[in-house]
Structure 1
Amino acid sequence: MRWFLFILFYIFVDIYAFQSIKTITKNQWFYGVYILISLLLLAGIIYEISLRGSEKMMEPPRMYVFGIFLAVFVPKLLLVIFMFGEDIVRFFVGIFMKFSGSEKAFYMPSRRKFVSTVALGIAAIPFASLIYGMVKGKYDYRVLKYALEFEDLPEAFDGYTLTQISDIHSGSFDNHEKVEYAINLVNEQQSDAILFTGDLVNNVADELNNWKELFSTLKARDGVFSVLGNHDYGDYVSWKNRSEQGENLDRLKNSQREMGWQLLLNENKYLERNGEKIALVGVENWGAGGFKKAGDLDKACEGIESSDFKILMSHDPSHWQEKVKTDDRNFHLTLSGHTHGMQFGIEIPGLIKWSPVKYRYKNWAGIYEEFGRYINVNRGFGYLGYPGRVGIWPEITVIQLKKKRNTV
């Protein structure tokens, strides 16, 4: 039933959008190409989601089908808005003409070529943007730097730097050279610690096989630390039994250790410098709204003092909003990812910061502060679903911890 409704909606949008094409040109060959592309896209998306959807596997070829579908269908939705708006105007003009005596019978004026031309011009913007996002945007890495001040930061850690990456989604990558460039960019920051906040794969540990050697080159003075994200557990793919899924997770954990990463599974580690220390706390995934809740703050904090300066790694920012920011143990800085900034939005520093994901997550990209406690939501290193990024670019975050000085 759902596919029947989807096909009806698709056909309605397609026919309506086609009206703008007919207004612009009478070329029958152009009409044929339009109809052929529409049918191929409909067949492709039905095949990928209906026939292969039970596995929910997000492999690069499949993602490109989805990406091309978006690049073509979203502009058509814009065309429908313009055409429908014009039809409303035409309808009321027809009524006015009839009752004013200008016409004996109700007659709707024909569509105007100018409106269709404007509609097609505006629709070309998302089409070009979505194509650019797939070709260039997904590997357009940005280094974002922040300095955060804390009154109770140990003196020895004044100037300590952290590089955060998140949401690698290694099963999506299709360009080793671009990813290698990004890994080199991370190392060039020469931070004291590198922190990875979850979603190393899309679904299965084997996705990491072609990337282990590259990711093992990540180096920092105090080490590379990681936690698990919701995709790392293999919950979005079918397994023969729980044991098979458990073995997959074990392989992923072991792979991280083989890469030299220190995986924190509801546990903590002290980072020490000149006799002083700060606590690095890592929890497993905890997410609101039906996501896995394996994170255990109590277990993760065993052995540390409430007065310790604490950095928490927790994949899903809803954890901070729901549990962490008001916790009496005072987690000074939380590092999360998960949202990807929806891989689509508009960001102009100082002017606008918007993405549709803001309506789902209060904390979705960048630094937020409440009660004197901070969270950084990394926009993600990789991509998932739509194989690209538009306006929300892949991110490498560098955070410098500063001792707040009292000024007179």
Structure 2
Amino acid sequence: MGVLGVVLVALGAAAVFGGLLWYVWRRTVRDTTIKGSWGRRLGTVAYLAGPSLMFGALAAERAGAPFLLQQILAWPGFLWMAFALYLLLALLAGELVRPLLRRWADRARPALEDEARSADEAGKRAQPQPTEGSGDLPRRLFVARTVAAGAATVAAATVGYGTYGVLRGPRVKRITVPLAKLPRAAHGFRIAVVSDIHLGPVLGEGFARRVVDTVNSTQADLIAIVGDLVDGDVEDLAGAARPLADLRARHGSFFVTGNHEYFSGAEQWVDHVRSLGLRPLENARTELPYFDLAGVNDVQGEDEGQGPDFVKALGDRDRTRASVLLAHQPVVIHDAVEHGVDLQLSGHTHGGQLWPNNFVADLANPTLAGLERYGDTQLYVTRGAGAWGPPVRVGAPSDITVVELASRQA
């Protein structure tokens, strides 16, 4: 796509986004207030503050702004992002309710008009209210305010519950994966798969501690952190990552990069996790007693000449041994199949994180979440432990997955 194409796509996206913002403002501010009133002015200012904070939070994170500024902007900006999504969806659903409310209001019009007249007589308004050229203003305000209030309540409840689901920490999910080449002695070997923790301006040391405690409670034989550990520099997040030093597993803890490590500076994080006791697998392989464990860099690293190298990680191995591959993004599954991998463990998708984004994420990834087979290779994708952007999950609960390997000889 040329420069002109990129510009046209960007303009189209901006137009759509602007149109949706205008629709939400119209339904929540314009339709629920009187023209020229302080309510409309204040509502408009408050409404415009939301997208400003959201874009500020995104820009601050990507530009590497001072970490304190990132923290100040992140909570309100990212929560508004999630709230706006569900407010929009609720308002669209509310369009179906409006005709029913109008019919009810028609029947109750005398009462509504009497209520408005009583308010005027009691002097509750500083000046007479304009009618905006309509004789059914009380009815229109009643319908608009009822739908807007209902939509805002639904959106706030959804975001509140989704935020609680993230902050309480991920739950443990367990699956069994049979591997044809796995020896009998390795039957029941357990790998704790952790992805997408996203330590940053929102999720910090307390969240990391909950993740570590949950992982250790599984008493897994091996721990695999498959990317997107952080969103930020080591200088800002070393304290948040400190609990990772307490991870415990008989065969150790391993790490591969995700795309967000390359946004943050992958080399510094590879060095830092090594100092915490994790073993990075940078296009590398280690031979465990019962199978080969390999890891490849994330595809985002290709921009820095550090992308996945399957030949380096798997090219000269003994294919009679079972193999497990750690790769952040599921999209590399076809390379894994070509190199005879038995099981690939991935994350990245978050399971969509915010419904209905799961439909978009499903189109962009071969597997959104769970276990699927591609030829002789099985792919397992975890929904991840944390969240990026809004600390909110809806329809895609976070998890730490214990993958128990099963030998067909057992």
Residue among 151, 171, 175 paired with 1:142: 171
User: C-alpha distance in 1, partners of 2:336/2:249?
Assistant: 27
One-letter amino acid of the structure 2 residue matched with residue 18 of structure 1: V
Structure 2 length-normalised TM: 0.75
> How far apart, in 2, do the equivalents of 1:146 and 1:208 lie?
32
Residue in 1 aligned with 2:199?
A: 170
- The answer on whether the counterparts of 1:17 and 1:77 sit within 8 Å (CA) in structure 2 is no
Residues in 2 aligned to 1:292 and 1:345: alpha-carbon distance in whole angstroms: 35
Report the 3-state secondary structure (helix = DSSP H, G, I; strand = E; otherwise coil) of the residue aligned with 1:65. Answer: helix
Counterpart-to-counterpart distance in 2, 1:45 and 1:354: 21
Secondary structure of the 1:168 match is coil
Partner of 2:308: 295
8 Å CA contact retained: 2:208, 2:241: no
1:367 aligns to what SS in structure 2? strand
Separation in structure 2 between the aligned mates of residue 286 and residue 153 of structure 1, nearest angstrom: 29
Tell me, yes or no, if structure 1 residue 39 matches structure 2 residue 48.
Answer: yes
- How far, CA to CA, are the matches of 2:360 and 2:135 in structure 1? 37
* C-alpha separation in 2, matches of 1:293 and 1:208: 23
Residue in structure 2 matching 1:377, options 373, 376, 381: 381
Cα separation, 2, equivalents of 1:339 and 1:121:
31
Q: Residue type of the partner of 1:258? A: S
Letter in 1 for 2:225: F
Letter in 1 for 2:373: E
1:16 Cα offset (Å): 3.3
Question: Closer, same or farther in 2 for the Cα pair 1:8/1:155, shift >3 Å?
Answer: closer
- Per-residue deviation at 1:256? 1.5
Distance 1:292 1:134 in 2: 37
**Which structure 1 residue ranges, 5 or more long, are not aligned?**
91-106, 238-247, 347-352
Note if 1:324 corresponds to 2:336: yes
Q: Against the structure 1 CA distance between its residues 173 and 216, is the aligned structure 2 distance closer, same or farther, given a 3 Å change threshold? A: farther
User: What is the rounded CA distance, in whole Å, between the counterparts of 2:244 and 2:330 in structure 1?
Assistant: 24
1:78 alignment partner in structure 2 = 89
Task: Please state if 1:257 is matched with 2:274.
Answer: yes
Distance in 2, Cα, partners of 1:402 & 1:54: 43
Q: How does 1:202-217 map to 2 (within 5 A)?
A: 202-217=231-246
Shift of 1:44: 2.8
Task: Say if 1:172 and 1:382, in contact at 8 Å, map to a contact too.
Answer: no
Name the CA distance, whole Å, in 2 between partners of 1:30 and 1:71.
24
2:230 to 198, 201, 209: 201
Structure 2 CA distance for partners of 1:141 and 1:4, relative to 1, 3 Å: closer
- Runs of 5+ in structure 2 lacking a partner? 1-9, 102-133
SS at match of 1:200: coil
Provide the alpha-carbon RMSD of the alignment.
3.8
Distance verdict in 2 for CA 1:48–1:60, change over 3 Å: closer
The count of corresponding residues between Structure 1 and Structure 2 is 361
Q: Deviations over 1:132-179 (max 9, x none)?
A: 333553433110000112232111111111111012222245453343
Secondary structure, aligned partner of 1:318:
helix
Q: Which residue among 29, 38, 54 is the counterpart of 1:18?
A: 29
Q: CA deviation at 1:344?
A: 1.9
Normalising by the residue count of structure 1, what TM-score does the alignment of the two structures yield? 0.75
8 A contact 1:230–1:292 mirrored in 2:
no
